[in-house]
Structure 1
C-alpha cells in the first residue's frame, strides 16, 4: 500500500495529537472532513492504522521489570507453544524468530522474583526445550513510529510539514 504525502501528514498529526477531533484535524490539515475520514478508513483497511486505544505502561500497571525471553521449542510444536504463551498475562508480545531460539517474548513483571516465576511457567510448557532471559536495564528508544512514517513520506517525494532535508525538526 502506498502512503503518500497527505497520508504522512495525517499519520503525523494522529501520532502527535491523538485526542484531537476529526473536525479539528481536518482544519489543521486544510482538508475536508470527508477526505480525512476516507483517508483514515483506507489506512485502517490497509492495515496501516491498527488501533486507536490508549498507550499503556506496564510500569504504571505495577510491572516495572522488563525482560526478553528467548524460547527454544521442540520441532513441530511452535503453534502449540505460541497458543500457550497467549495464556500468560505477563507476556506483552511474542514473535517467531530466526537465530538463537524459536520465539522471542517481551515479559513484564512486578519484580525479579515474579519474573523468575513467569520464566519457570514458560519452561514448564509442553514443547519448550529451554529459555534464555535478558533483562532490560533502561529504555533507550521508546516505541515509536513517527520517524518511520516520515521516512515513508520522504520516499513518497514530499517532506512532512516542519521538516527539512536534515531529518531534524526546524533544522
Structure 2
C-alpha cells in the first residue's frame, strides 16, 4: 500500500499519542474529521495500522527483571520448543531467527528464581543463553515513517 505525506503525518501523530481524537488529528493534518476517518480506515484495511494499544510498564506490575534468551533447540525438537516458548506468558516477544540459535525471546520476570523456573521448562529440549537487561536506551520503535 502506498502512503502519502498526509498519511505519514497521521501515523506520526498517532505514534506520539494513539488516543488523539479525530478532531485533533484533522487539525494537525489540515483535513476534515470524516476525511481523517476514511484515511485511518484505509490504513487499517491496508495493513499499515495493525491496531491501537496501550503501553504498560512491566515493573508497575511487579516484573522487576527483563531478560533476552537465545534458544537453540536440540535436533528434531524445533516445533516442540516453539510451542513451549509460546506457552510461557512471561515471554512478551519471540523471534525465529537464522544462525546458530533458532529463537530470541524477550521476557519479564519478578525474580531470578522465576527466570530459572521458566528456563527449566525448555532445558530438556533446548540450550539457552540468557542476558539480563540492565537498561533499554532505545525502546521499541518503528523505523522512520514516510519515503
TM value normalised by structure 2: 0.89
- Could you say which residue in structure 1 is the equivalent of 2:6? 6
User: 2:144 matched to which residue of 1?
Assistant: 148
Secondary structure of 2:59's counterpart equals coil
More divergent stretch after superposition (112-121 vs 72-81): 72-81
**CA 1:73 to 1:48, structure 2 compared with 1: closer, same or farther past 3 Å?**
same
- Alpha-carbon distance, 1:76 to partner: 4.5
Structure 1 stretch displaced more, 64-73 or 42-51: 42-51
Distance 1:122 1:58, change over 3 A: farther
RMSD: 1.7
- 1:49 is displaced (CA, Å) by 1.3
Q: Deviations over 1:8-62 (max 9, x none)?
A: 1000111112221112211222102222112111221222211212111221211
How do 1:1-150 residues align onto structure 2 when only pairs under 5 Å count?
1-124=1-124, 128-145=125-142, 148-149=144-145
Unaligned runs of 5+ in 2: none
Gaps of 5+ in 1: 156-171
Deviation at residue 103 of structure 1 after TM alignment: 0.8
Aligned length: 147
Once the two structures are superposed, what CA deviation does each residue of 1:91-128 show, in whole Å capped at 9, x if it has no partner?
A: 1111110123111100111122211111112224xxx2
